[in-house]
């Protein structure tokens, strides 16, 4: 895929803003504490760390944590992802070239093919891969020992991982959406690195619209920076931040265009539900997985959308948020 200059810039800024160690990593206190213990114990035992599974919605810091793990363990990091591993052979090539103590980060691990998954079970447990040579009746498996390594798997959907794979991780950390105050800390650090002047109220305004997600907070900060540059504003206050973000269609609750189109479809096309997830996804022209892993978790957390056995429903707060009269059956 050819990326545009702005995507390339986006990635460059994102990597510049990534915290490099656990102390700089804001929030997620429990995961940070548990992970720090896992790493410390492995240093004391002089062994590679247990395999780590990180789950949670996109942009909450899974890749960042994998990089921090490698830095804290002073180990090289190899990065790949489930969709990039279509054949067991793709995985065998990666595994057989790992060096001792290396950290292997597999993003979207739930999207790996089944044969690759089975190869990974054995590699994780016994540090071995069986390379199949030949085809049909003449095929033979040649076992190849691997140096001990640490797998860091990331998934937006821990529930989709087969049990045997989940069980082979020594530590599982679930990342939660960030509180507004935590996002303010993320933004303060980024503003300092980008050499931007923002007032406290300005930080609060951007943080409140960041969907509980550091990646979005950093992205909005850059949009606000552009707006301030064009409007020749030296220090970004809350009204500058609000004006800029209104222009980019990020509302005061942090809902973006996808979030709002999910709620709007749910209410205007299906009377507020219940409606099945895949029907809802078709109505907004998105992949089911995008609606389920990107839009839904935040809408549920904000109390705007409910999951019921019969399908998705819009809550009274969703009708209110879109400026619509709450139907009688939802009005308390
Ligand atoms: P994921 O892999 O979960 O999609 P990333 O690790 O790529 O998310 O994080 C996206 C961006 O958000 C990173 O570039 C980083 O700058 C920022 N970020 C994520 N988590 C934190 C955090 N806890 N503290 C500070 N910045 C963070």
pLDDT at 285: 96
What residues have CB less than 8 Å from 51, skipping those under 6 apart? 124, 150, 151, 152, 153, 168, 169, 170, 171
Alpha-carbon gap, residue 98 to 196, rounded angstroms: 41
What phi and psi values does residue 106 have, to the nearest 5 degrees? -115, 105
pLDDT < 70 stretches in the chain: 1-5
pLDDT at 4: 65
CA distances from 311 to 104, 230, 273, 278 (A): 38, 45, 7, 10
pLDDT at 133: 83
Nearest CA to ligand 1 atom 12: 215
Q: Give the residue among 197, 116, 102, 113 at the shortest CA–CA distance from 150.
A: 102
pLDDT at 238: 96
Q: What is the pTM of this model?
A: 0.91
Alpha-carbon gap, residue 201 to 191, rounded angstroms: 14
170 lines ligand 1 (CB under 6 A): no
173 lines ligand 1 (CB under 6 A): no
Q: What spacing in Å lies between the alpha carbon of 274 and ligand 1's midpoint?
A: 34
ipTM over 0.95: yes
Residue 197 annotated as binding site = no
Q: What spacing in Å lies between the alpha carbon of 212 and ligand 1's midpoint?
A: 12
pLDDT at 267: 97
Instruction: Summarize pLDDT for 114-151 with one digit per residue, the tens.
Output: 999 999 999 999 999 988 888 888 888 889 999 999 99
Alpha-carbon gap, residue 167 to 53, rounded angstroms: 10
Nearest CA to ligand 1 atom 20: 61
153 lines ligand 1 (CB under 6 A): no
Report the nearest atom of ligand 1 relative to the CA of 217. Answer: 12
- Look up tokens 């907004």; give the residue: 284
Report the nearest atom of ligand 1 relative to the CA of 56. Answer: 3
Residue 17 annotated as binding site = yes
Quick check: 68 and 19 in contact, CB under 8 A?
yes
Q: What spacing in Å lies between the alpha carbon of 61 and ligand 1's midpoint?
A: 4
First to last CA, the chain: 51
Alpha-carbon gap, residue 25 to 286, rounded angstroms: 32
pLDDT at 52: 97
Alpha-carbon gap, residue 252 to 249, rounded angstroms: 9
Quick check: 197 and 235 in contact, CB under 8 A?
yes
Residue 307 annotated as binding site = yes
Which among 18, 107, 216 is the best mutation to test ligand 1's pocket, defined by most ligand atoms within 8 Å of the CB?
18
pLDDT at 1: 47
Q: Give the residue among 96, 98, 35 at the shortest CA–CA distance from 64.
A: 35
Residue 312 annotated as binding site = yes
Nearest CA to ligand 1 atom 6: 61
Catalytic residues: 62-63, 107, 156, 215
pLDDT at 132: 82
16: tokens are: 């510049």
HSE-CB for 177 with a 13 A CA cutoff: 22
Give buried/exposed letters for 132-159 (b at 16+ CB in 10 A, else e): eeeeeeeeeeeeeebeebbbbbbbbbbe
25 lines ligand 1 (CB under 6 A): yes
């Amino acid at each position: 895929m050819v990326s545009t200059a702005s995507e390339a810039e986006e990635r460059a800024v994102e990597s510049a803003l990534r915290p490099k160690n656990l102390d700089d990593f804001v929030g997620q206190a429990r995961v940070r504490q548990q992970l720090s213990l896992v790493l410390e114990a492995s240093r004391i035992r002089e062994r590679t760390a247990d395999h780590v599974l990180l789950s949670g919605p996109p942009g909450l810091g899974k890749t960042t944590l994998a990089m921090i793990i490698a830095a804290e363990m002073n180990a090289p990091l190899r990065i790949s992802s489930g969709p990039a591993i279509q054949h067991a052979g793709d995985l065998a090539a990666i595994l057989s070239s790992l060096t001792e103590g290396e950290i292997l980060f597999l993003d979207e691990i739930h999207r790996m093919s089944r044969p690759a998954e089975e190869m990974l079970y054995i590699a994780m447990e016994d540090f071995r891969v069986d390379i199949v040579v030949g085809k049909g009746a003449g095929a033979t498996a040649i076992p190849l020992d691997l140096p001990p390594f640490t797998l860091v798997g990331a998934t937006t959907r821990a529930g989709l991982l087969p049990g045997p794979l989940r069980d082979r991780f020594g530590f599982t950390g679930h990342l939660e959406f960030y509180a507004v105050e935590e996002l303010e800390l993320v933004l303060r650090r980024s503003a300092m690195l980008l050499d931007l002047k923002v007032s406290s109220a300005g930080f609060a305004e951007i943080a409140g619209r960041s969907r509980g997600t550091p990646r979005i907070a950093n992205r909005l900060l850059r949009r606000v920076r552009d707006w301030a540059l064009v409007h020749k504003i030296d220090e970004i206050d809350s009204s500058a931040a609000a004006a800029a973000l209104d222009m980019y269609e990020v509302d005061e609750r942090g809902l973006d265009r996808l979030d709002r189109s999910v709620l709007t479809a749910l209410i205007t096309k299906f009377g507020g539900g219940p409606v099945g997830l895949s029907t809802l996804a078709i109505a907004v022209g998105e992949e089911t997985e995008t609606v389920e892993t990107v839009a839904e978790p935040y809408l549920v957390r904000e109390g705007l959308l409910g999951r019921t056995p019969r399908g998705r429903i819009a809550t009274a707060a969703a009708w209110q948020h879109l400026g619509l009269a709450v139907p009688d059956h939802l009005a308390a």
